[in-house]
Structure 1
Amino acid sequence: MDTINTHFRLSHKIVDEAFDLSQATRCNLYVSLSQKAMRLAVADAERNKFLVLIDYELITVFTPLQVAEQLQLIATENPLLQEKSWNTIKVSFSNQQFTLVPETLYDPAHQSDYLRLHADLNPIQDQVLAYRHSTIGAMNIFAVDAALFRTLQDIFSGRPIQMLHQTSALIRSVLHQGSLSAKRNTCIFVERDYVTILVVGQNGLEFCNVFQYHTPEDFIYYIVFVMQEQKMDPEQETITVWGDITHDSSLFHMLQRYIRYIKLGKKPTDVDYSYKFHDLFEHRYFELYSLHLCE
């Protein structure tokens, strides 16, 4: 990989003065991977507090193999990825290759068969994994590119890595955000080119899917379509928004045209954050913080 060109840039970095790599044994490392971004965070498990956040933007990266190549390059210069003594390492993946199966129906021997009903799997290129949601009695079955899977194993030299689909972190955190009520709620998580839509009701998670959009019109179409299919009125319901979206963006303006009540989400509760995180928008980096809540 020495001949691979650099296609990433550091877009944000926060390091609390109290953090030192010598503390790694009591800290958790969280990694969030997508085709557009690679984000790292460190939380002190003993103090239950986030101390570090590093955000890399991936540029002209189009395939999972290229993501793996950029991850390898970042690992050569980032001390967090060179450290091997973390208390826990958790990695989430953002893609559309996932499905939720009731735990009572789940058979590990057939997890690829479950996923094949919802995604085009390549037995050579795809590594199929599963994550158990004890709170909703379901298994999230998902695929990871084999090259990316091997790169992570190489970087952490055989250390145990908890790998999960990004939707699992979002589900866990959204359900944790507040007590369930009779009123159903629509939550969305926005990334570049993708939007995850969740509907939560009195009995827990009712809907979860990831949609790819190319224009603001695509973006709002999926949101309104899901709300209508779920018998929810965009003129009456409030939706909660997290992710890479700002008040002055075309996506937010499109939301305002079609959704009457929009609320920007907050950071996960029951965990502290270094004072250096206070300048960040509350709804940003939700997928990264949410890894802290996953079992």
Structure 2
Amino acid sequence: MNTTSTHFRLSHKIKDEAFKITQSSYCNLYLTISPRSIRIAVVNTDRNKFVVLEDYELLSVFTPQQIAEQLQLITAENPLLQEQGWNAIRVSYSNQHFTLIPETLYDPTHKTDYLRLHSDLNMQENLVFSYRHNNLEAVNIFAIDMILQQTVDNIFPERPVQLVHLTSALIQSVLHQAGRKNERCLYAYVQRNYVTMLVVSQSGLEFCNIFHYLSPEDFIYFVVFVMQEQKLNPETETITVWGDITHDSSLFNILQKYIRQVRFGRKPADVAYSYKFDDLFEYRYFELYSLHFCE
């Protein structure tokens, strides 16, 4: 008997009328797992179009074990996660256990050693993976809680799953959208209690890190700190933001107080979206859309 309590709610669900689960063989399934949410998207690869999005908000969930339990409960009632015939499955994990190193220095036999320099790993609870950024000639080394990875493996026993870190999805998408602009640009992806900051220039990615904040004051401290360290002037530079932030939120208000030019990002280009997505804010679900650019 399953005695696990339900601690999630479906806050958003979008489905194009043309999509049927029987089309899975020419569709990709994307799944993002974070401490606050589990999100699902489906892309029809023949049409290069997002056709499904589901957003499950996690409530009173504090540990990887609890996240895994909620993912199992969602799977039990979700046909998308029960389907095994997808063309490709990509899963991103959100945590602070990651590091980027030049590909020329990367030795896969030492990936755990590289990550230990930047993260406090418990090898009884974590598994270490890597993702190659060919456009950067860099490798992202990251850790996943073992219980979460085992849960995903159990959900998709018949299909290989591509694993990436949240930062890799964001990097791939931002570089794809930004191209090779002459100016240095600052980007922020906002989650509840976490903000990922990226600086991109003509030469590519210059900075990437995730910061944990507990208040708007913490949040703006990290943003201004990164700008100062990267020699970006809050009076003249523009910050582009995506994620779980709104025009009337305390986070957005404090951004406008300290940075002259704040703008919301848009959905990634070079992929289409069902008309059902038109009612969503352009800057929401960027991390989910970004999985489309992880090859």
TM-score of the pair, normalised by structure 1: 0.99
Whole-Å separation in 2 of the counterparts to 1:155 and 1:2: 17
What RMSD, in angstroms, separates the aligned Cα atoms of the two structures?
0.7
User: For the structure 1 residues 289 and 237, does the alpha-carbon distance in structure 2 shift closer, same or farther, using more than 3 Å as the test?
Assistant: same
1:224 maps to 224
Name the aligned partner's letter for residue 268 of structure 1.
P
Q: How do 1:24-103 and structure 2 match up within 5 A?
A: 24-103=24-103
Q: Shift of residue 158 of structure 1?
A: 3.9
Whole-Å separation in 2 of the counterparts to 1:25 and 1:5: 33
Q: How do 1:90-169 and structure 2 match up within 5 A?
A: 90-169=90-169
Whole-Å separation in 1 of the counterparts to 2:183 and 2:28: 35
- Aligned: 1:206 with 2:206: yes
Which consecutive residues of structure 1, in runs of 5 or more, have no partner in the other structure? none
Q: Give the length in aligned residue pairs.
A: 295
Whole-Å separation in 1 of the counterparts to 2:158 and 2:42: 20
Name the aligned partner's letter for residue 185 of structure 2.
N
Q: Shift of residue 179 of structure 1?
A: 2.4
Aligned residue for 1:257, secondary structure, equals: helix
Kept in 1: contact 2:49–2:272 (CA 8 A)? yes
Whole-Å separation in 2 of the counterparts to 1:117 and 1:258: 33
Whole-Å separation in 2 of the counterparts to 1:114 and 1:68: 27
1:10 maps to 10
Q: Shift of residue 65 of structure 1?
A: 1.2
Aligned residue for 1:278, secondary structure, equals: helix
Q: How do 1:241-252 and structure 2 match up within 5 A?
A: 241-252=241-252
Aligned residue for 1:121, secondary structure, equals: coil
Kept in 1: contact 2:84–2:158 (CA 8 A)? no
Whole-Å separation in 1 of the counterparts to 2:18 and 2:293: 23
Q: Shift of residue 2 of structure 1?
A: 1.4
Q: Shift of residue 241 of structure 1?
A: 0.5
Whole-Å separation in 1 of the counterparts to 2:215 and 2:287: 23
Whole-Å separation in 2 of the counterparts to 1:142 and 1:246: 30
The one-character-per-residue Cα deviations of 1:115-164 (angstroms, maximum 9, x if unpaired) are 00000111110010000100001110000000000000000014100000
Whole-Å separation in 2 of the counterparts to 1:287 and 1:293: 11
Aligned residue for 2:10, secondary structure, equals: strand
Kept in 1: contact 2:91–2:161 (CA 8 A)? yes
Whole-Å separation in 2 of the counterparts to 1:141 and 1:8: 30
Q: Shift of residue 181 of structure 1?
A: 2.1
Aligned residue for 2:139, secondary structure, equals: strand
Aligned residue for 1:13, secondary structure, equals: strand
User: For the structure 1 residues 91 and 251, does the alpha-carbon distance in structure 2 shift closer, same or farther, using more than 3 Å as the test?
Assistant: same
The one-character-per-residue Cα deviations of 1:214-252 (angstroms, maximum 9, x if unpaired) are 000000000000000001101110010000000000000
TM superposition outliers: structure 1 runs of 4+ over 6 Å: none
TM-score of the pair, normalised by structure 2: 0.99
Name the aligned partner's letter for residue 134 of structure 1.
N
Which consecutive residues of structure 2, in runs of 5 or more, have no partner in the other structure? none
